[in-house]
Structures are given as structure tokens and as C-alpha cells.
Structure 1
Amino acid sequence: MTLILPATLADALWAHAAREAPRECVGVLGGRQTGDLAQVTALYPLGNISARPEHEYLADPGHLLRALRAMTADGQTLVALYHSHPRGPSWPSPTDTRLASYPVPYLIADLRRRELRAFRLPACQPVPIELE
């Protein structure tokens, strides 16, 4: 699978991560998918309601529901989720893999290295995917 993230939306993702640091940010990406190609067309920042936001994320369910409704209204689907690791690394943590529940790519923004990577997280086994 390949996920195409336009530069303007990548910049918005990095800006969200920087605003939230040292807390982890979280958000969803809407767009269109055809076969193994997903094109991101919108970014929806969400609130992180984790009790330990410096170490993990938990998306605010109300914010998530509103974002999913907005996607549907705009003819988009959920193509990816994202969150930040303010101190790195750009690899999913055990908590990230354990709590992954959507069958879409998960993007991780490593603020320390300024590196953005994408993974599928099936059965707690991270699988890197191509991010353009």
C-alpha cells in the first residue's frame, strides 16, 4: 500500500505535533482510496484525553465522531490515523500496536528526528508502508 500525503497536509500535521509537545498529538486523515493507493485530502486534529499524554494518546471520542461525520459529508473515508512521539522514536510503541483498532495506516511523527513514518498494525505486528 502507498499513502500519499500532500506537503501542505504534512506541514499541518507537523504544526499540530509541535503545538502539543511535549504531549502526544493525535488526529485522523480523510481522503480517497483506490486499491493499494490512498490519497489524503484532509487532516482532522483530535484532542488527546489520555491520563498520560506525554507517553501515549487516546483520541477524544466526540472529536473522532465529528471528524468521521465531516469526512462522510465531504465524500471522504478514513485513510489513516496519526500521532506524535515528541521524544521519538518513529516506530510504534507496544501500547500503539496493542490499541490499534482501525484497519488503516498509522502515521507516527518523531519530533526529535523530524521523521514521519507509516505502519499497518495488524495483530500487534508493525508493518511499514510507503509514505509519499
Structure 2
Amino acid sequence: MPTALHLPRVLENALWAHARRDAPAECVGAIGGHERPDGLYAHALYPLPNIAPDPVRHYLADPGHLLRALRAMQAEGLSLVALYHSHPNGPATPSRTDTQLAAYSVPYLIADLRGGSLLAYLLPDGRAVEIVLGTT
């Protein structure tokens, strides 16, 4: 399991812009990149539509858009290295729903718009394990 995700500042800025643009609803997106021995390296951000019935409290990525993002990653020689979403009213910790619905074994980034923090977690077996998020 990866212990660190390296996120370039330009992608971090794009993630925050997406979160602010979608507020008060939660935003959702995918991050493509590469895995190396010292962690995951992000190279591209793929904002996705949130189709949750209550997007102010939950997120659900549009499956068709997610599939297109995964295909675009593959075409660019990238793989899925993380997923992200926002908590417009905080905190930057996974909710019970976040941990229960985590379907991928990649880090999940949570942007807390109120508190201004961005944290990354692995969500195996319904529990949250924080990992290092490095920005460059």
C-alpha cells in the first residue's frame, strides 16, 4: 500500500478551484499518475460530475464520466492514483459514508473548504488510514 501521494501545486490549485466552484455541493474527481517505490505521483486531474441525490452532503461520481476519465488516463499512460472530493463545511476527515463506499484501493483526498486543509487517506475495510500528502 502506498504511504505517500505527491501532488504538484498546479494540481492542488485546480482541485481547490473545483471544490470552490461546486460549493455548496461536494465536488468529486479522479487523479491520474504513476506509482514509484517511494509513493504515488499525480500528473493529471479529472473533475467529475457529482450525481448524488443530496450533493450538499454526499458525493457520487457519474460512472460514465469516471469511465471516460479512466480511459483517458490509460491513453495518456497513466493509472488511477487517487480520488478526491470536498467537504464544504469540513472537516477533512472521512465520513462514515466515505469509508463505507470506498471502492478503490487508492488514496482518497478530502478538501475541507471551511478549514482550508487537504488530507489523504487510504480507506481499507471501512477504516481511515491517513497517508502523507506532499505538494511540490
**Structure 1 length-normalised TM:** 0.99
* CA 36–125 in structure 1, closer or farther in 2 if over 3 Å, else same: farther
**Corresponding residue SS for 2:60:** coil
Residue equivalent to 2:54: 52
Amino acid at match of 1:44: Y
**Corresponding residue SS for 2:31:** strand
1:41 aligns with 2:69: no
Residue equivalent to 1:89: 91
Amino acid at match of 2:6: I
Equivalent runs, 1:93-132 vs 2, <5 Å: 93-132=95-134
**Corresponding residue SS for 1:3:** strand
Quote the offset at 1:26 in angstroms.
Answer: 0.1
Quote the offset at 1:71 in angstroms.
Answer: 0.2
Residue equivalent to 2:18: 16
Between the aligned partners of 1:121 and 1:2, the Cα distance in structure 2 is: 14
**Corresponding residue SS for 2:35:** strand
Superposition misfits of 4+ residues, deviation over 2 angstroms = none
**Structure 2 length-normalised TM:** 0.96
Quote the offset at 1:34 in angstroms.
Answer: 1.3
**Corresponding residue SS for 1:49:** coil
Structure 2 unaligned regions, length at least 5 = none
Between the aligned partners of 1:71 and 1:114, the Cα distance in structure 2 is: 28
Between the aligned partners of 2:127 and 2:64, the Cα distance in structure 1 is: 28
Structure 1 unaligned regions, length at least 5 = none
Between the aligned partners of 2:12 and 2:97, the Cα distance in structure 1 is: 24
Deviation by residue 1:76-96 (Cα, 9 ceiling, x = unmatched): 000000000000000000000
**Corresponding residue SS for 1:18:** helix
Quote the offset at 1:36 in angstroms.
Answer: 4.4
Root-mean-square deviation (CA), in Å? 0.6
**Corresponding residue SS for 1:87:** coil
Residue equivalent to 1:78: 80
